[in-house]
Amino acid sequence: MKLPFDKKEYLSRLKQVKESMDRSGIRVLIVNHPANMNYLTGYDGWSFYVPQGVIVFIDKDEPVWYGREQDSNGARLTTWLSEKNIYGYQDDYVQSLVKHPISFAVEIINEIEPKPYKIGVEMDSYYFNPRSYNLLQEEVVNAEVVDATRLVPLVRQIKSDTELEYMKDAARIVEKVMDKAMENIKPGIREGDAAAEVYRAQIKGTDEFTGDYPAIAPIMPSGKRTSTAHLTWADREYEQGDVVLLELAGCRYKYHAPLSRTVYIGEPPEDLVEISKVVIAGVEKVLDFIEPGKTCEEVEAYWREAISGSKVVKESRVGYSYGLNYPPDWGEQTASLRPGDKTVLKPNMTFHFMPGIWLDDYGFENSEPIYITEDGCECFVDFPRKLFTI
């Protein structure tokens, strides 16, 4: 099966990961996060509900994939790895109180790497848990376990041209998705019916390519439920006077284009109109400001200055790096646009600039997914910035 990237690109990622391992003195790296597994090997399947991983040995040409035996054909079909580097564990390892898949991985490691060394694991991730951690500590021979949660994600931050192409494809999808959402939000329509059309558009994609499942379900609360950040749809019909927040994505080969917009059903109240103007003017100023060499915290500080004097208060971060990912998050969980983050912007980094405002009674969102260019930044998505009314 054809993979989304040339083998050369996977090898170049692996090389960068090994360089980073080398700088940290890590000889063996276990990655359990499905986005990191995909990034290094191509592996793609909804098998991450059982423990699985990719093991990078600094001295070996190819990583090892390990996972459930019934998923090993998935590794044969979706990765560039040779047969000898695909290890499937039997089903009695699955959700057992007696056996654990990490022990299966440790056996492979103990055989290959007998000298004293550091082994990196993802300590602050969803897909490596304390039971695995304790067993690894007990069973691995001669190794010191160290945190490498951000090792692969930091390499992922800078996109290749092909990755940017897929993110642009995802942007074409989200434009259609957002249109479809706006078309379907009307008084008397069930929120779930609008959500159904959103999902359909996400996967249907364009005439040239279909879409992939995004890492986050459509966030599209209405009314009072817009006072908080992460609610989906509810068992209700839209009503006159509803604010509807839309945080939706397009996705291609697990590369995302997230986008937020806000809709008001009816004549919007004065203060919401004012907030929307302040936020959108602020977004546009910040987009002009962003360029390589500036830091994440400088961008956030500039945003705060851009909206100062207004009633808009935004106390959370205003964006984060993003790209390739799996549920539950499309963010890379590395750089954030917020105070204290000194990450320096570089060409081909990608951010979701997302200044969401959630007040006591409702919210307002207007985001832009962007990539850093040689001398500024570009928006992935072409969609009007305004408070939409229906």
Query: By CB under 8 A, what part of segment 210-249 binds a copy of itself?
Result: 210-213, 216-217, 219, 224-225, 227-235
The answer to whether the peptide bond before residue 328 is cis (omega within 30 degrees of 0) is yes
149 near a copy of itself (CB under 8 A): yes
Nearest distance in Å: CB 121, a copy of itself: 7
Nearest distance in Å: CB 81, a copy of itself: 14
- Work out the angle at residue 15's Cα, subtended by the Cα atoms of residues 12 and 18, and round it to the nearest 5 degrees: 155
340 near a copy of itself (CB under 8 A): yes
User: Tokens 């928006």 sit at which residue?
Assistant: 379
Using CB under 8 A, which residues numbered 106 to 145 contact a copy of itself? 121-134
Q: How far is CA 107 from CA 14, 41, 89, 192, in A?
A: 23, 21, 11, 48
Whose Cβ is closer to a copy of itself: residue 14's or residue 174's?
174
Q: How far is CA 114 from CA 30, 104, 299, in A?
A: 16, 16, 47
CA distance 270 to 291: 34
- Count of other CB atoms within 10 angstroms of residue 214: 26
Whose Cβ is closer to a copy of itself: residue 302's or residue 362's?
362
Closest CA to 11 of 50, 42, 55, 34: 42
Nearest distance in Å: CB 287, a copy of itself: 22
CA distance 101 to 379: 42
Q: Which of 62, 169, 175, 191 binds a copy of itself (CB under 8 A)?
A: 191
Using CB under 8 A, which residues numbered 19 to 48 contact a copy of itself? 44-48
In the shown chain, the binding pattern of residues 251 to 290 toward a copy of itself, with x for contact by CB under 8 A and - for none, equals ----------------------------------------
327 near a copy of itself (CB under 8 A): yes
User: Tokens 């434009």 sit at which residue?
Assistant: 175
Nearest distance in Å: CB 156, a copy of itself: 14
Nearest distance in Å: CB 59, a copy of itself: 26
Residue 287: enclosing H or E segment and its boundaries? helix 270-289
Whose Cβ is closer to a copy of itself: residue 123's or residue 344's?
123
Nearest distance in Å: CB 50, a copy of itself: 8
